[in-house]
Chains A and B, each alone.
Chain A
Amino acid sequence: MEQIVDVNDLSRSFGSKRALDGVSFRATAGQVYGLVGANGAGKTTLLKHLLGLLRATTGSVRVFGLDPVRDPVGVLSRIGYLSEERELPEWMRVDELLDYTRAFHPTWDGSYARELLESFALDPSKKVKELSKGMRAQAGLIAAVAHRPALLILDEPSSGLDAVVRRDILDAIVRTVADDGRTVIFSSHLLDEVERMSDHVTLMHHGRVTLSGALDDVRRGYQRSRVRFVEHLDQPPVLATALAMEGGGRTWSVVHSGSLEQFHHSVLALGGEVIESRDATLEEIFLARAGRTRQPAEVA
């Protein structure tokens, strides 16, 4: 498959803060990539590098085989972008915004833009400054997708959108783009959204990619198991493939990678047994990898 994005060993610091640390990321055509991570994990910084808004100080960034800083026209003409801040010129009317954006993209699909305007029930004669946050996101989304870009980059696209628009329209847009053989990269805090829309998921933590792969593979690679020990344990048990644990006493809930068999063996070795196992959800994997395990008094 055609490689759309190729990021190699990218690092970036802002002052003393390491925003990206040796990040490598690849995206191919026709796939939806979800970027997840806590605040400050480096998602937006990575997306800004893809757009050429940030210059790669270490490592390399190629989009469509081009350097987005050296060739902004070649890259940006094939990208649709919705920023997290929804920064649009306040003095423009919605129709002016679309006309202005259209001028930069010969592939602009006017009927698609009108269709989306109707779907969102947006008044084209309204000025941007008169729009609510959600309406701005909708206007920005139309401007980002109406030229049918080869790569759609959405930074927190759900922010400000209501549940109906998010589920019915955003999902449909993303799926349409991917089904047309084009690529979507989006960042989100909403893990259910990433799970619903993505083909691939990349987890970032403290500027590093801690997990990346096809969603199904990722989910298959992690299980959540309930284990019970004969004796009461004051400290969490040391299990080889465990990433995170919750619970206390005799019963513990463990998110772990690797094979189930290997995990069974390590539990048995400590005098315990596995009561049940299932595939971990993305949220559980995220929390485990991000090291944010909750420690409730008692596991249900």
Chain B
Amino acid sequence: MTTRSPIVAILWENWRLSRVEAAQRLAQGIVAASAALTFFHADAAVAFWILIATHSFFWFSIAKLNGGQFFDGYKPGFPFYLLYSRPVPTVTIVGAAMLYDAVSCTALYLVSSAFLRFAFGPPLPLFSVTVFLVAYHFAYTGVQWSTRNRVVQWIGTMATFLPFFALLKNRVASPLQVEFSLLENALMVLVGVVSFGFAVAGVARQRRGEARTAPPWTVEWRGFSDWLAGLFRFPCPTSSPARAQVWFDLKSSGLPVLAIGLAIAIVPPLLFAIGIPIAFVRPHALLSAMVSVPAVLILGGNAFGIRRKQGRTYASAFEATQAYGTARLAGLKVLVRTACLVAALIVVGVSVWASSSLVSAWGDWVVNGKAAAPGLLRRRRAIELAVGTMTAYEWLALAFVATIVVAVIVASRAAFTALRARYPRRVNIAVWLLLLHGFVVVLCGLAFQRGIASPFAFYSAQDLTNRVIAVVGAASVLATAYLFWSVLAERLLALRQACGAILVSAVFAAAWVTVVDSTGVPLSRMPATDAVRLLMWPTLLPLMVSVLAPWSLSRVRHT
């Protein structure tokens, strides 16, 4: 064995664990950016940000191989803890893994942008952003790996993301060009080196078993801490399984979602207020307002608590062996997560709305030679006016639609995670087919634009897409019918529960029509096919998800 062997082995392990996701991310980035350039005539900057987001800011799984996301039951800290027992220095273990993460993501970006340059011709930056990408990944993994404390991880991630994002945003020039000064490059290298040092020190502590050691409590503070903890501790109800399960889901994932929602809600008012004296912060304040709602929605994933370990995705045997029906379990999990998510969204929404009133205090804020604040305030007033003219019935319909939409998002993401755990190969094939379809459509569009193919090819691609949508629609109807039959045959759902799902879907459809009507869309004057399209999916999705969720949980619970 040569001295390089352990490093090669670690790199190989990284590759084995991340290759499928890496390939999918590469395809996603290329297809999304190509579609933006071809069909939406977006400029190169949009494609650039799509690639940066795909290969940099959302690259979570490699950094957390124990679980791709926050609620995947991942073990926080260094993911390759199985290497601790190997005769390899910590610096090697950490260095190889960090290097793989940074280099692979940077390579994926470079390959994607080189392809887009070749295919579409926009001058996407290549090597000028490599230092940025590598440094950002070092900083991100440094934060994630150096501690096992989730709160520190989240705060650290934000503290890393915001300055890097701000720096990149300020260095993107029009026409698209990204240049960093020598000093900035040097600073980024320094950040990377410091992050590496932090990660090595943190992982060394974890390897020695010191990371879990709680600081000793002093006698005089013990009582206070117990009292404080007791304020937020509520005992597990033992009167019924449903209550105990609600308690379990609230404690394990619901309340953390709410807490993170509250933390996110603090950011916009803070930035809007700081933006009054400091104009530099204002774009970031607006950005925080825009991303806070999607950021909260991201927390709605994996409501079933599917766990991930290196190379293994599975349901918790502890929960699977509790004497509780699968459909009820799925329903409770989705309900608890939806309730917490809706509460978090309301808090964030109120926070954003209240913060936006501070724009009036920004005074003369000029962006690209135009005063930006009046435009923002006009939009705010327009929303205020639109909301003010809504009737109570429309309000009720909107609230119902919004809640069910959140529930559908939570349930469908939970079902997808469960299906991916149970049938990984089939789900991967479906994802690849989808990406392949996107790629073919983009290529047809590109060929038409370049004059290589006749308009027939372009319209064929459009026709193909329409046909695929029609096939997916028909398949969804059939799948819903099959799932209904299956859950009833397997006695997963009782007949009255199935009827309840149909009733909720019908009420949702009615509420949807009301909301569409209130926005001024002339539903009654539309062609029948458009009206059916507008109504079919909103009616079908809640119905399908209401049976897909228990069915998928059942497949994971009883494999």
- Is the beta-carbon distance between B325 and A103 smaller than 8 angstroms? no
0/1 interface trace, chain B 324-367, chain A, CB 8 Å (1 if under): 11100000000000000000000000000000000000000000
Q: Which residues of A contact B236 (CB under 8 A)?
A: 96, 99-100, 103
Binding site secondary structure of chain B: loop
Q: Identify the stretch in B61-69, B166-174, B241-249 within 8 Å (CB) of chain A at 4 or more residues.
A: B241-249
- Is the beta-carbon distance between A54 and B325 smaller than 8 angstroms? no
- Is the beta-carbon distance between A91 and B252 smaller than 8 angstroms? yes
Q: Identify the stretch in A24-32, A71-79, A207-215, A252-260 within 8 Å (CB) of chain B at 4 or more residues.
A: A71-79
Q: Identify the stretch in B202-210, B312-320, B465-473, B514-522 within 8 Å (CB) of chain A at 4 or more residues.
A: B312-320
- Is the beta-carbon distance between A104 and B323 smaller than 8 angstroms? yes
Q: Does A186 contact B (CB under 8 A)?
A: no
Cα distance A85–B490 when bound, in Å? 29
- Is the beta-carbon distance between B235 and A103 smaller than 8 angstroms? no
Q: Does A236 contact B (CB under 8 A)?
A: no
- Is the beta-carbon distance between B326 and A89 smaller than 8 angstroms? no
- Is the beta-carbon distance between A53 and B237 smaller than 8 angstroms? no
- Is the beta-carbon distance between A73 and B557 smaller than 8 angstroms? no
- Is the beta-carbon distance between A103 and B244 smaller than 8 angstroms? yes
Q: Which residues of A contact B324 (CB under 8 A)?
A: 72-73, 76, 104
Given A91-B251, A104-B244: A51 touches B321 (CB 8 Å cut-off): yes
5 A/B residue pairs, CB under 8 Å, sorted by A = A70-B490, A72-B323, A72-B324, A81-B321, A103-B237
Count of inter-chain pairs, beta carbons less than 8 A: 79
Size band of the interface chain B makes with A = 20 to 34
CB-nearest residue of chain B relative to A80? Answer: B321
Binding site secondary structure of chain A: loop
- Is the beta-carbon distance between B244 and A99 smaller than 8 angstroms? yes
Q: Does B491 contact A (CB under 8 A)?
A: yes
Q: Which residues of A contact B316 (CB under 8 A)?
A: 87, 89
- Is the beta-carbon distance between B559 and A53 smaller than 8 angstroms? yes
- Is the beta-carbon distance between B318 and A103 smaller than 8 angstroms? no
Q: Which of B235, B243, B321, B559 contacts A76 (CB 8 A)?
A: B321
Q: Which residues of A contact B321 (CB under 8 A)?
A: 51, 53, 76, 79, 81, 83
- Is the beta-carbon distance between A52 and B317 smaller than 8 angstroms? no
Q: Does B5 contact A (CB under 8 A)?
A: no
Q: Which residues of B contact A87 (CB under 8 A)?
A: 316-318
Q: Which of A51, A54, A100, A102 contacts B248 (CB 8 A)?
A: A100
Q: Which residues of B contact A88 (CB under 8 A)?
A: 318
Which has the most chain A C-beta neighbours within 10 Å: B238, B247, B321? B321
Q: Which residues of A contact B238 (CB under 8 A)?
A: 99, 102-103, 108
Q: Which residues of B contact A99 (CB under 8 A)?
A: 235-236, 238, 244
Q: Which of A69, A89, A103, A105 contacts B239 (CB 8 A)?
A: A103
Q: Does A228 contact B (CB under 8 A)?
A: no
Could you tell me which residues of chain B, from 270 to 323, have a CB within 8 Å of some CB in chain A? 316-318, 320-323
Q: Does A114 contact B (CB under 8 A)?
A: no
0/1 interface trace, chain A 81-116, chain B, CB 8 Å (1 if under): 101010111010000100111111100100000000
Q: Does A55 contact B (CB under 8 A)?
A: yes
Cα distance A76–B317 when bound, in Å? 12
CB-nearest residue of chain A relative to B237? Answer: A103
Closest 4 CB pairs of A and B: A103-B244, A77-B323, A76-B323, A99-B236
> Size of chain A's interface in residues, with CB distance under 8 A?
30
- Is the beta-carbon distance between A103 and B558 smaller than 8 angstroms? no
How far apart are B558's CB and chain A's nearest CB, in angstroms?
Answer: 5
Could you tell me which residues of chain A, from 22 to 74, have a CB within 8 Å of some CB in chain B? 51-55, 69-73
How far apart are B368's CB and chain A's nearest CB, in angstroms?
Answer: 50
Cα distance A72–B320 when bound, in Å? 9
Q: Which residues of B contact A96 (CB under 8 A)?
A: 235-236
Cα distance A108–B236 when bound, in Å? 15
Q: Does B85 contact A (CB under 8 A)?
A: no
Q: Does B240 contact A (CB under 8 A)?
A: yes
CB-nearest residue of chain B relative to A143? Answer: B318
Cα distance A53–B320 when bound, in Å? 7
Q: Which residues of A contact B318 (CB under 8 A)?
A: 83, 87-89
Q: Which residues of A contact B491 (CB under 8 A)?
A: 70-71
Cα distance A270–B558 when bound, in Å? 55
Q: Which residues of B contact A103 (CB under 8 A)?
A: 236-241, 243-245
- Is the beta-carbon distance between B322 and A54 smaller than 8 angstroms? no
Given A91-B252, A99-B238, A103-B237: A53 touches B558 (CB 8 Å cut-off): yes
- Is the beta-carbon distance between A53 and B241 smaller than 8 angstroms? no
- Is the beta-carbon distance between A89 and B252 smaller than 8 angstroms? yes
CB-nearest residue of chain A relative to B243? Answer: A103
How far apart are A86's CB and chain B's nearest CB, in angstroms?
Answer: 9
How far apart are B39's CB and chain A's nearest CB, in angstroms?
Answer: 42
Q: Which residues of B contact A85 (CB under 8 A)?
A: 317
How far apart are B65's CB and chain A's nearest CB, in angstroms?
Answer: 19
CB-nearest residue of chain A relative to B307? Answer: A87
Cα distance A75–B321 when bound, in Å? 10
How far apart are B215's CB and chain A's nearest CB, in angstroms?
Answer: 14
- Is the beta-carbon distance between A105 and B558 smaller than 8 angstroms? no
Cα distance A102–B239 when bound, in Å? 9
0/1 interface trace, chain B 218-249, chain A, CB 8 Å (1 if under): 00000000000000000111111101110110
CB-nearest residue of chain A relative to B305? Answer: A89
Given A85-B317, A102-B238, A104-B322: A52 touches B252 (CB 8 Å cut-off): no
How far apart are A54's CB and chain B's nearest CB, in angstroms?
Answer: 6
- Is the beta-carbon distance between A104 and B235 smaller than 8 angstroms? no
Q: Which residues of A contact B237 (CB under 8 A)?
A: 103
CB-nearest residue of chain A relative to B226? Answer: A125
Which has the most chain A C-beta neighbours within 10 Å: B244, B318, B322? B318
Q: Which residues of A contact B322 (CB under 8 A)?
A: 76, 101, 104
- Is the beta-carbon distance between A52 and B244 smaller than 8 angstroms? no
Q: Which residues of B contact A104 (CB under 8 A)?
A: 241, 244, 322-324
How far apart are B511's CB and chain A's nearest CB, in angstroms?
Answer: 34
Cα distance A69–B323 when bound, in Å? 12
Q: Which of A73, A81, A100 contacts B244 (CB 8 A)?
A: A100
How far apart are A35's CB and chain B's nearest CB, in angstroms?
Answer: 18
How far apart are A124's CB and chain B's nearest CB, in angstroms?
Answer: 12
How far apart are B213's CB and chain A's nearest CB, in angstroms?
Answer: 11
Could you tell me which residues of chain A, from 142 to 181, have a CB within 8 Å of some CB in chain B? none
Q: Which residues of B contact A108 (CB under 8 A)?
A: 238
- Is the beta-carbon distance between B247 and A100 smaller than 8 angstroms? yes
Q: Which residues of B contact A52 (CB under 8 A)?
A: 557-558
Cα distance A102–B243 when bound, in Å? 12
Cα distance A52–B329 when bound, in Å? 15
Q: Which residues of A contact B251 (CB under 8 A)?
A: 91
Cα distance A96–B325 when bound, in Å? 21
Q: Which residues of A contact B252 (CB under 8 A)?
A: 89, 91
How far apart are B311's CB and chain A's nearest CB, in angstroms?
Answer: 14
Known: A100-B244, A102-B244. 18 other contacts (CB 8 A): A51-B321, A52-B557, A52-B558, A53-B321, A53-B557, A70-B491, A75-B323, A76-B324, A88-B318, A89-B252, A91-B251, A99-B244, A100-B236, A103-B244, A104-B241, A104-B322, A104-B323, A104-B324
CB-nearest residue of chain B relative to A84? Answer: B317
How far apart are A33's CB and chain B's nearest CB, in angstroms?
Answer: 19
How far apart are A154's CB and chain B's nearest CB, in angstroms?
Answer: 13
Given A81-B321, A99-B236, A103-B238: A54 touches B244 (CB 8 Å cut-off): no
- Is the beta-carbon distance between A55 and B323 smaller than 8 angstroms? no
Q: Which residues of B contact A54 (CB under 8 A)?
A: 558-559
